Chain A
Amino acid sequence: GNSVTQMEGPVTLSEEAFLTINCTYTATGYPSLFWYVQYPGEGLQLLLKATKADDKGSNKGFEATYRKETTSFHLEKGSVQVSDSAVYFCALINSGAGSYQLTFGKGTKLSVIP
């Protein structure tokens, strides 16, 4: 079946620090990969996505590259801000299984301190 594994949190960083949140996946076929972000008290919203190998998704200074050889989609940002404090979810949609529902990782809570 499909699964997503992301690094355990919480992660606490100082403002302007470099961020990496690791995400690896297991899936048959050719999944699309997503990062969703959940700000406190809100629902999830799409941060970025990539639909094929070597694609790079980017948004709001965040980036992630679809690495098929390592089955990974790590999230990075060069300089985090306090406003980036949130829970980040890695997710996939697998077109090879006949089902298009999102499969989520467990989430990584990021806290950025001034």
Chain B
Amino acid sequence: DAGITQSPRHKVTETGTPVTLRCHQTENHRYMYWYRQDPGHGLRLIHYSYGVKDTDKGEVSDGYSVSRSKTEDFLLTLESATSSQTSVYFCAISESQARNTEAFFGQGTRLTVV
């Protein structure tokens, strides 16, 4: 199994509070991604990183920010959590962005905003 650790695995937070989710990898892969999974929507890309301090927006980036200060860590921050951000969040990594490249996924973080 690819070495991807997400923390925390579960979190309940109140509306309006900041939340940071962490993704840690031991594979030294260049590319890292944050997705959210919601019923009826599959997985949607929030942000991704193509190197240290290099990030870009995905399909559903509003309300989220990311940072990558080290190759192994990719942080997702909800500056002011809302109930619509209740979801399961997955981190993924890939070695390259070639067409046949496999992405490896973490086990997910279940976030509930009350």
Contacts and interface: CB of A to CB of B under 8 A. Distances in A.
B26 interface: no
B106 A46 contact: no
Contact of A106 (B4, B42, B92, B99): B42
Contacts, number: 55
Interface of A: 4, 30-32, 34, 41-46, 49, 51, 89, 93, 95, 100-102, 104-107
Contact of B42 (A41, A46, A89, A101): A89
B107 interface: yes
Closest 8 pairs between A and B when the two form their complex, measured CB to CB: A100-B97, A43-B105, A106-B42, A104-B42, A32-B99, A44-B105, A104-B43, A95-B99
- Majority-rule SS of B interface residues: loop
A44 B20 CA distance: 22
B107 A93 contact: no
Contacts of A45: 104-105
